[in-house]
Amino acid sequence: MDNSPNVAAAGAADDPETVEITDSGASLMTDAERRERQIRRVVGVIVAVTVLSLNFEQIQLLTGPNRSVLIQATVTGILIGGVYGLVSMGLTLIYGVLHIINFAQGALMTVGMYSAFSLVSRFGFDPYATVVFTVAFLFVIGAIVQGLLLNRIMKESLEKQLLLTLGLSVFLENVLLLLFSPTPRAVQLPYARGSTSVFGITVEWPFQVFGAVASLPRTIAFFGAMALAGLLFLLLQRTSLGVRIRSVADNPRGAALVGIDVQRTYILVFGLGAACVGAAGALVLPFLSLEPTTGESFNVIAFVVVVLGGMGNVVGAILGGLIIGLTQQIGGIIFTGQSNLLGVFVVFVLVLFLRPNGLLGRAH
């Protein structure tokens, strides 16, 4: 049997110049990587300093007499960031296992919102009681989409997969447009103002936090999203189903050899990813205006969050969601007169320069 490592070692011993050339080449590669990292850091710092210097007066204003505005933006950013994390958790789960970039994630969220709205307006459900239904309904829709459509093209090119999910997004938005019209809808939470008893402690809503106001709908959305994200994390880490999912994500062929049904696992994963946005849709319904295109903004932010946290990293999605929530709200008051997404994309570009694999991502 030919032992390649020993053969290589013998050849190197006979030709010392080869070793020097090889070592020199490795050193050159290392130097190139170091230079690339240094360039990325320098460019990132230049971009950050430029952006901040353009708005230095506004930053000084926020750290002075108008500090309450900054506190309010921080509280609001954290609360909405939890929802971003839940939406992105479903997206990164789908990518991490199926390696599909799901452009229909935002449209699926809108389907969940309209489902919850229908239950509230027609049957008098409490908005938060609809979470159970929207989770189950979107899980079924996601499973059907994966089983009937995406499983057929899993071995096809990336372009076909992207076009299919993009087409599905357009299709869902137009179906909602036909069924519900473009008229904006809203759900009023009757107990949004008043007092609530929590473990014997009476809390007045809206709640005051260091001079900032935390509304009941946003607070419920944050804690609900964090609870559901925690349950999904436990499912992936502590259950036999989670072991199957992680096995398929790491090595689909090896998982199939040990008896795991890979196609069925794909269906379950896409269903779980869709269920995440179903829950998020019901949670944000009491404080967002509902239109057939409402999910588009969440779609854009979710992709930024996934890249920021690390593609396929579930914990990174939660961390990235909180960071982007804060960035969006604080950036909205720093970059006055601009879209509140400007700060989000500044952070996005910086992360791509400084850490292309994301905050918790691994190099491939």
The rounded distance, in Å, linking the Cα atoms of 361 and 364 is 9
pTM of the model: 0.80
How large is the C-alpha radius of gyration of the chain?
24
Write the pLDDT tens digit of every residue in 314-326.
Answer: 888 998 999 899 8
Q: Can you read off the two tokens belonging to residue 352?
A: 């791509």
The rounded distance, in Å, linking the Cα atoms of 70 and 212 is 9
Residue in the structure block whose two tokens are 């809108």: 110
Q: How confident is the model at residue 1 (pLDDT cuts 50, 70, 90)?
A: very low
CB contact set of 146 (below 8 Å; sequence gap of 6+): 98, 266, 267, 269, 270, 271
Q: Looking at residue 20, what is its pLDDT?
A: 40
Q: Can you read off the two tokens belonging to residue 167?
A: 């087409």
The rounded distance, in Å, linking the Cα atoms of 66 and 75 is 15
Write the pLDDT tens digit of every residue in 292-309.
Answer: 999 998 998 999 999 888
Among 50-59, 94-103, 200-209, 272-281, where is mean pLDDT lowest? 50-59
